[in-house]
A and B are shown apart, each in its own frame.
Chain A
Amino acid sequence: MAIADVKEYTHLSPEEVEELGRELDQVRADIEESRNADDAAYINRMITIQRRLATAGRITLFASKWKPAFFAGAAMLGVAKILENMEIGHNVMHGQWDWMNDPEIHSSTWDWDTAQPGEQWKHSHNYVHHQFTNVLGHDNDIGYGILRMAREQKWNIVNLGQPIYNALLASLFQWGVALHDLDIESIRKGQKDPEVMKKQLKQIGVKVRRQVGKDYILFPLLTGPAAIQTAKANALANLSRNLWSYMIIFCGHFPDGALHFSEEEIEDETRAEWYLRQMLGSANFQGGPLLHIMSGNLGYQIEHHLFPDLPSNRYGEISDRVRPLCEKYGVPYTTGPLHRQYGQALRTIMKLSLPNKFTKPARHDSADSIEVPRGRKKDSERPTRRTETGTWTSRASA
């Protein structure tokens, strides 16, 4: 099956797909052209708010023996951490603000307030996930190596435990993400380069030591008699950040309507087809401005996947142009309220804990017959994109 056979757009001729690609290129060019001082002020404002909030939370926790201060401090810290991870860290490390040429707000220098080292995240997320979005065997974000999220993935008895793994993943999300680029599965199979593994483990070790040291040793010690309460409040802040970011991230690609692709489908993929795959593999959710800020504008997941390095504060505006394009070309634009999108993702997790024969496919799921092994590709097995044509080639054996 080639990408052009997917039933959602078989009605489009290759010329129409290329035309859609050109229209999306134009959207990108227009936004790039119009980035200005207001956008720069936006990210600077977000950073200032986040740092003030974190400071206020930390200070409030000096009184954390007093219940209201405990909850107020934990809430402020939790919100600060969410804001930092979602709207600031995720987006800065995507290079969304590199155009400002500010070395302090730049993808090459930023590290975020979570357990995974920024450098590793940029590989597993920016490169692997955003290039190979929803391609089975390539995109490690499908189930994060823990959950079976596609009917094409082989069922195994251990999948019966999915409801439990899911709850654990949600509450320990930052630790799951920390191990993401390490790729436990390839270590288990003995395919991991030991040098790379050593380097990555060291990076994770340093990061984890600093994160744990800050939240569970230094700040508690600083608050003296309130140490235990402060540590608890910090744990609560981290937990709420974990649950929130887990939920938002699962709404991006797992609601019904987001498609999976096979390795063969990307073989001769053009740049326009890459756009199409991003649109068909992603799902949005609706909400007000505050919800969008707190979710790092990932409610505009489709727009984010089309243009991962355009400033997040412009995604709303971009969506006003992408949606009509989807209508014009008859391409589905998957969106809905947050609870429905997450509900569908949760339903898939539960359903796929069972073998396919016990469950019915959702409306967009592919046929049950194609079974894709759960193995993942190493970088050396991943194809490389040729910039001049936009298509993929096998990596040179060097």
Chain B
Amino acid sequence: MVAERVPEKVTGAASKLPWSNIRKIGAGLTTPLHPDDYLSLINPLWTARELRGRIEKVVPETDDAATIVIRPGWGWHYDHVPGQYVGIGIQVEGKFHWRSYSVSSPPKRTGRTIAITVRAMPEGFLSEHLVSGLEPGTILRLAAPNGDFVLPDPPPAKLFFLVGGSGITPVMSMLRTLDRRDTMPDVVLAYSSPTEDRMIFRDELRQLSEKHEGLRLHLQHTDEDGILEMSDLDRVCPDWKERETYACGPAPMLDACDEHWESAGLEDHLHLERFSLDLGGDGAEGGTLTFTNSHKEIEVDGAKTVLEAGEEAGLGLPYGCRMGICHTCTLTLAEGTVRDLRNGDEYNGPNVSIQTCVTALAGDCKLDI
């Protein structure tokens, strides 16, 4: 045992030490840039400064949905938990836009790729672009996996997945993982989609359920069969009260679930993933501004700038010109929407830089300061 462990340690150290030393010396040569800034001239994936990925292929799933296979660059750890989402940053008309998508592929290092599955939403500016406008080879930015819509390990003995539309993607990642590990417990999947054609992963799901006795499907085509009501649950999954339920889909469906489980006193057994975050901003003026690191909260109206609000809360926020010119006051928005007082443009987070001296709240916002 000992003999086995020693070389392992040595190789671990050997592969780590020189590499960080090389980088350190390299940084001395490339200052104020990183060595990575030069390496990425050769291959855009050879940088760990900002996580990057390259689109390997775009696989159509349905008419309006596609799976995007991404090869992450340096610095990416293939350690996401099934059900989590990743941030994708794509440059459209020169500007990076960020959205989060569930990883639909199971976590594994082989193949060195991750996949997300995206449905083009009529109002979704980026999803449309992802599904129809992306060429393999496109370089995008990635944000590390996040989210707590995940299965415990080992999984509960009895599971109920309640999904609608593209809410299938995080669940697919969980099912594929259970399949790969061959630990499929007693699972019921109730999956709604407008039509058979628009149902993402329908063939794979059928194959999985044929393979695993424990996996039972209820596929509902809402254009013909109508929407799955909470009152139908007793028929679709009679023992739903005994199961850990994972629900993901449109907001009205999740709201109904919330209410239904609560009235049964079972809210601890319901796990929800909301896709469409309420970003505020639609006509709403002002809101609650939270400074997460300083643990301060302040109510602000829609006319006061974020900077003034911060000063009122007693925080020493950086500022310079107070007219939007010098960019001294720029901070990163963690959550929410702000409006530029000069032209009415709206900016919403996460990862969006805002100039606090010329923006005001359009709904609740959070700043990491």
Contacts and interface: CB of A to CB of B under 8 A. Distances in A.
A127 B32 contact: no
B349 to A, nearest CB: 11
B28 A213 contact: yes
A390 B341 CA distance: 13
Interface in A359-384: 384
B41 A122 contact: no
Which of A52, A98, A387 has the most chain B CB atoms inside 10 A of its CB? A387
Interface string A334-364: 0000000000000000000000000000000
A259 B163 CA distance: 68
Interface string B349-366: 001110001100000000
B341 A387 contact: yes
Interface string A10-41: 00000000000000000001001001111111
Interface string A133-174: 000000000000000000000000000000000000000000
A218 B28 CA distance: 7
A114 to B, nearest CB: 9
B323 A112 contact: no
Interface in B305-361: 305, 320-328, 330, 341, 343, 351-353, 357-358
B233 interface: no
Interface stretch (B93-101, B109-117, B195-203, B223-231): B93-101
A98 B41 contact: no
A51 B97 contact: no
Interface string A52-88: 1001000000000000000000000000000000000
Which of A101, A102, A211, A222 has the most chain B CB atoms inside 10 A of its CB? A101
A289 B342 CA distance: 32
B49 A104 contact: yes
A151 B354 CA distance: 41
Nearest to A392: B322
Interface string A309-337: 10000000000000000000000000000
A246 interface: no
Contacts of A207: 32
B42 to A, nearest CB: 10
Contacts of A107: 327, 330
Contacts, number: 122
B326 A210 contact: no
Given A48-B41, A123-B328, A385-B323, A218 B29 contact: yes
Interface of A is mostly: helix
Nearest to B357: A387
B327 A101 contact: no
Nearest to A99: B95
A130 B32 contact: no
Given A100-B94, A127-B326, A131-B320, 13 more contacts: A36-B94, A95-B327, A99-B95, A101-B97, A101-B352, A104-B49, A107-B327, A127-B321, A127-B328, A130-B321, A213-B31, A309-B324, A385-B323
22 contacts: A35-B95, A36-B94, A37-B92, A38-B94, A51-B37, A51-B41, A55-B38, A55-B41, A95-B327, A101-B89, A101-B96, A112-B32, A113-B32, A118-B32, A122-B326, A126-B321, A126-B326, A127-B326, A213-B28, A308-B326, A309-B325, A387-B358
Interface of A: 29, 32, 35-41, 48, 51-52, 55, 94-95, 98-104, 106-108, 111-113, 118, 122-123, 126-127, 130-131, 207, 210-211, 213-214, 218-219, 222, 271, 274, 308-309, 384-387, 390
